[in-house]
Amino acid sequence: MWRRALKREPGWLAVAMSAAEMRFAFGRHAPEGKSVVTRCGVRTLGEGAQSAERLAKELHFERRQCLTVLEPGQYQLLLVDAPAVPQAELRSAIRWRIKDMLDYHVDDATIDVLDIPPEGATAAARGHSMYAVAARNEAIKGVIKSFEDARIPLSVIDIPETAQRNVAALFETEGQGLALLHFEQEYGLLTVNYRAELYLARRIELGLGQIASAAPGEAREALFNRVVLELQRTFDHFERQYRTISVTRLLLGPEPQETGLLEHVRANLGVTVERVDLDRALALGAADLPPAERGRLFHLIGASLRHESKAL
């Protein structure tokens, strides 16, 4: 979303770093045929292990266009009415529109926009919505500094919603909306795609940690019922907003171990429910990754399939 111009090899290397580990995925979007992820993995950092700088040098990160994905607490995704202003004034208009939605001064925010294309001439005439992405300047500076310290050439800072959109786009059926639900350790992210565009994104305050800690039986079933209720409410809202787009399928992201969620949602939701099959949609060079690591790399894999589109 926020970029610094660097010319590197084709494709994108998505990198996430913490004090303990580095996760990465190198992919290339293909407009026709299969997109490719040639390398991905998780490496330990810190005491007794390689530093981020040494590992980046060993893996030749300097040859790639690098990006990272913000954590949920580092940004806000805000749905707003698209302002009727010339393209050159769009970001300024959005900045003014969201100033009262932030819990900090708007001058301290880095802001970008994601358009939601109107569905047909009627919708275009009555206006449409777009997402504003806002992050504190200090958070963005902190991310940039961590990459500079590791000598990793950071070009783009992305968000999980657009990364997930990229994965969902691989599975779309023409003329139909597609929902994708993926759980991280502390939260779930539900997105709805249509024509490879992100039309809806919603955070679910329930994660893999809660599911794993719930005892199989009534406790876990209660959590699954909560997920189904969130899905039903979201789909009902989406149908009211976008009457010409039907959501007929829901994909569930990789789970580290089978929990029964897929079967429960399939039995209680009125749409087709399937597990994401990355091997079917991608030429995946690291196909031997275990399910636990596929789940943790899911958004990095999606971010690595980034492709440039018309600038807003």
Q: How does pLDDT run across 226-236, given as a tens digit for each residue?
A: 999 999 999 99
Beta carbons of 107 and 77 less than 8 angstroms apart: no
pLDDT at res. 76: 97
Contact yes or no for 223/214 (Cβ under 8 A): yes
Instruction: Supply the mean pLDDT for the chain.
Output: 90
For residues 94 and 248, what is the distance between their CA atoms, to the nearest angstrom? 33
Which residue has better confidence, 287 or 114?
114
Looking at the DSSP assignment, which residues form a beta bridge with residue 194?
Answer: 197
How far apart are alpha carbons 252 and 208 in whole angstroms? 13
DSSP structural state of residue 132: E
Q: Each residue of 152-197: pLDDT tens digit? A: 999 999 999 999 999 999 999 999 999 999 999 999 999 999 999 9
Hey, where are the domains in the chain? 72-136, 173-275
**Architecture of the 173-275 domain:** 2-Layer Sandwich (3.30)
Strand partners of residue 12: 27
Q: Is the pLDDT of residue 312 over 60?
A: no
Does residue 203 surpass a pLDDT of 50?
yes
Q: Do the Cβ atoms of 282 and 34 come closer than 8 Å?
A: yes
> What's the average model confidence in pLDDT over 245-249?
94
Distance CA 57, CA 71 (A): 25
Q: How do strand 177-183 and strand 188-194 relate by DSSP bridges?
A: antiparallel
Burial degree of 126 (CB within 10 A; 0-12, 13-18, 19+): exposed
pLDDT of 3 reads: 53
| Per-residue pLDDT at 291 exceeds 80 | no
Q: Which helix (H) or strand (E) holds 267?
A: helix 261-268
